[in-house]
Amino acid sequence: MEAQSRHINAVQVVEFQGRLDAHQGKQVDQKLSEVRNSSNQTVVNLSKVHFIDSTGLSVLVKGVKHQREQNGDLVLCELQQPVRIIFELTRLDRMFQIYSTEHEAIQAFQ
């Protein structure tokens, strides 16, 4: 699992690549945890994630819970269709703010 992060104003953008699954869960969790330490506003760009399972979803759920407890949020953007289907199946698409583009996701925090 590759992950890149960058700061845009007060927003931390994290971009994952590959599969977000049980095998990568700890790495993803660790990355989100690092990001949380520097900002309570996180954008997770999933444009390069083509597969997500329940462990991957769970890491994101943990992330959004934590950020909202800190009066911030974790939002998602650029979901590929197979990933979007899993979000819809679990109705987690209604629990997260999901944006079509990274720009829109960042703007949501402004």
- Shortest Cβ 100–another protein spacing (Å): 22
**17, 80, 92, 104: which one contacts another protein (CB under 8 A)?**
92
Pattern 15-44, another protein, x by CB under 8 A: -------x----------------------
CA angle 23, 37, 39 (to 5 degrees): 110
Closer CB to another protein, 27 or 55, in the complex: 55
**69 touches another protein (CB under 8 A):** yes
Determine the interface stretch with another protein among 4-12, 37-45, 64-72, 97-105 (rule: CB under 8 A): 64-72
Distance CA 49, CA 80 (A): 7
List residues near another protein by CB under 8 A. Answer: 22, 54-55, 57-58, 61-62, 64-65, 68-69, 71, 89-92, 94-95
